[in-house]
Amino acid sequence: MYRMLKVFLILLFPTLLAAQNVIQVADADIVGDVHWTSDNTYVLNGFVFVEEGETLTIEAGTVVKGKPGQAEAASALIVARGGKIFAEGTPTQPIIFTAEADDVNDPNDLPAVNTRYLVSAFNDDDGFDYDEGFRGKGQFWFLIQAPDVGGTGGEHDGGTTPEDGLPFAIPLIYNATYIGSGASSANSRNDFALNIRDNAGGKYYNSVFTDFFGRGAQIEDLASGEDSRARLEAGDLILQNNLWFGFGAGSATTDLFAQDFVHSYVTDAANNNRFVDPQLRGISRSNDGGLDPRLAEGSPGLTGFVQPPDDGFFAPVDYLGAFGPGNWAADWTFISEVGILNTAGARTPRVITAVEEHQNPSVLPTDYTLNQNYPNPFNPTTNINYTVVSTAHVRLTVYNLLGQKVATLVDGVRPAGSYTLSWDASNLASGIYIYRLDAGEKIQSRKMMLVR
């Protein structure tokens, strides 16, 4: 029996929020089992970890905000491997994650929600569903649908009452892999890889759409002109540098895109869409370990990509779809846990002990501190300085943004003093990493960026 998982990218706002207490949350506040209630607003101050063995329960209707900041000064809620979070909202009492400055009572004050590494598996409805006003960024989105249930791969809506309600939804999405119910399945609800309507826009690049019962894409075209065709013609809806293959409606491009204007657009050579087998390593919907959505050697998906914007959010890529050589969904997702996903290519956490560390005996610290690494960004070596006010067990660890520990730099007793270590990260991929110091009774963390 399939476990139903669904990713909603919907900005929901209750009509009125009662007066609430504002609670500042630091990393040290998450210990054991923690319960957040809807009569409070929780403001994340820096990186807040739910560590192994810890549980965070968030009640329906709760508002969680993050303080402003970039890189090491950012705020985030991070569920590490072995930690658990229970957060289930309702249509009338959504759990809202937003910025500290966001007025959640004002429906026109819409924050952008940016997401990476999303898995939507075996839903009873549409896979990825964004709605009115969503303008976030997305990268590495993965969808697989069951053979007998589930709807559209991506159902993307805009205004409903009225159809031209502003702002239009125009997210920017790179490197998605959407696998439907199967081209030969009997699931007629699996009608489109993408169904875009109600003046919604959206921009898909470097993506793979395959194995759907129905067609490739449908874009709403109304006589009134207030529709998603208008967004396509305005440049707010873009489908470029994508692979489309394996649809039950047929193999011809006219089968995949029945609307003439959609067919003309998608097949225009300037948009660099291709209609060939992406050669995924394996598609399976059973717990036989046969699902491997990585591209096989020689796949056409290893060419024809375009680089995302260099804006600090998107990661550079050299492939189409959600997976490169590594399988980032292994070892932490439900489809991995129950044996559906093949774990080949898993990013095995690396424990590094060969680190050069030096103590500065002339410095007499007054507190436990963790300083910003230098240089930052770095390639591939950087220096990290920390201080210990009295003899204590010190642990300095590095995590990726999936919450996986990729390095242990220090794990032992250190006397009072200032320490600087040099770390070589040449065996890691480019990206943002979080390094964390546990010393005494203090926990501190910062961000650093490896650029290869």
- Split at pLDDT 50, 70, 90, the class of 366 is confident
Question: Contact 391/413 with Cβ under 8 angstroms?
Answer: yes
Assess whether pLDDT exceeds 90 at residue 149. yes
Task: Evaluate whether residue 173 is within a structural domain.
Answer: yes
* Two tokens, residue 386: 């920390």
Measure the CA–CA gap between 60 and 379, rounded to whole angstroms.
43
Query: 61 lies in a domain?
Result: yes
The pLDDT value recorded for residue 266 is: 98
Q: Which of 408, 407, 404, 360 is nearest to 386 (CA)?
A: 360
Residues 345-350 have a mean pLDDT of: 51
30 plus 120 within the same structural domain: no
One domain, residues 115 and 231: yes
164 and 282 in a common domain? yes
Q: Last residue of a domain, which of 104, 126, 144? A: 104
The CATH number of the domain where 402 resides is what? 2.60.40.2550
What pLDDT sits at residue 15? 36
Residues 125 and 88 both lie in one domain: no
The answer to whether residues 289 and 342 touch, using CB atoms and an 8 Å cutoff, is: yes
pLDDT on residue 337: 83
Same domain, yes or no, for 318 and 257? yes
> Do 368 and 427 share a domain, yes or no?
yes
Local confidence band at 354 (pLDDT 50, 70, 90 cut-offs)? very low
Cβ atoms 222, 188 nearer than 8 A? no
Domain containing residue 56: 17-104
Residue 8 lies in a domain: no
Q: What is the rounded CA–CA span in Å between residue 444 and residue 418?
A: 16
The answer to whether residues 151 and 83 belong to one domain is no
Hey, how many other C-beta atoms are within 10 angstroms of the C-beta on 241? Answer: 18
In a shared domain, residues 236 and 249: yes
Residues 401 and 288 in one domain: no
Q: With CA atoms as reference, report the closest residue to 423 among 376, 363, 389, 387.
A: 376
* Rounded percentage of the chain residues whose pLDDT exceeds 90: 56
Phi, psi angle pair for 269, to nearest 5°: -55, -30
Do 165 and 127 contact (CB within 8 A), yes or no?
no
The answer, yes or no, to whether residue 21 has pLDDT greater than 80, is yes
Band of the pLDDT at 391, cuts 50, 70, 90?
A: confident
Residue located via tokens 């009640």? 59
- Report how far residue 214's alpha carbon sits from residue 216's, in angstroms, rounded to the nearest whole number: 7
Type of residue found at 299: S
Tokens describing residue 38:
């809807």
Residue percentage of the chain with pLDDT more than 70: 90
Helices and strands in the chain, H and E counts: 4, 31
> pTM for this structure?
0.64
Residue 151 lies in a domain: yes
User: Does residue 351 form part of some domain?
Assistant: no
3-state secondary structure of 255: helix
**Which candidate, 175, 188, 154, places its Cα nearest to that of 8?**
154
- Per-residue pLDDT for 220 more than 90? yes
Return the structure tokens found at 77. Answer: 């809620």
Say yes or no: 142 and 38 in one domain: no
How remote is the C-alpha of 129 from its chain's centroid?
A: 14
Q: What is the pLDDT of residues 255-294, one digit of tens each?
A: 999 999 999 999 999 999 999 999 999 999 999 999 999 9
Residue 372 and residue 320 share a domain? no
| 282 burial level (CB within 10 Å; 0-12, 13-18, 19+) | middle
Confidence grade of residue 3 (pLDDT, cut at 50, 70, 90): very low
Say whether pLDDT at 12 is over 60. no
In this structure, are 303 and 206 located in the same domain? yes
Supply the DSSP string of 194-242, one letter for each residue. Answer: EEE-TT--EEEES-EEEEESSEEEEE---TTS-SHHHHHHTTSEEEES-
Last residue of a domain, one of 298, 314, 346: 346
Q: How many domains does the chain have?
A: 3
> Does 12 reside within a domain?
no
Is residue 330 assigned to a domain? Answer: yes
pLDDT higher than threshold 80 for residue 78: yes
Domain membership flag for residue 178: yes
DSSP type of residue 266: H
Rg, C-alpha atoms of the chain: 24
Which of 104, 125, 142 is the last residue before a domain boundary?
Answer: 104
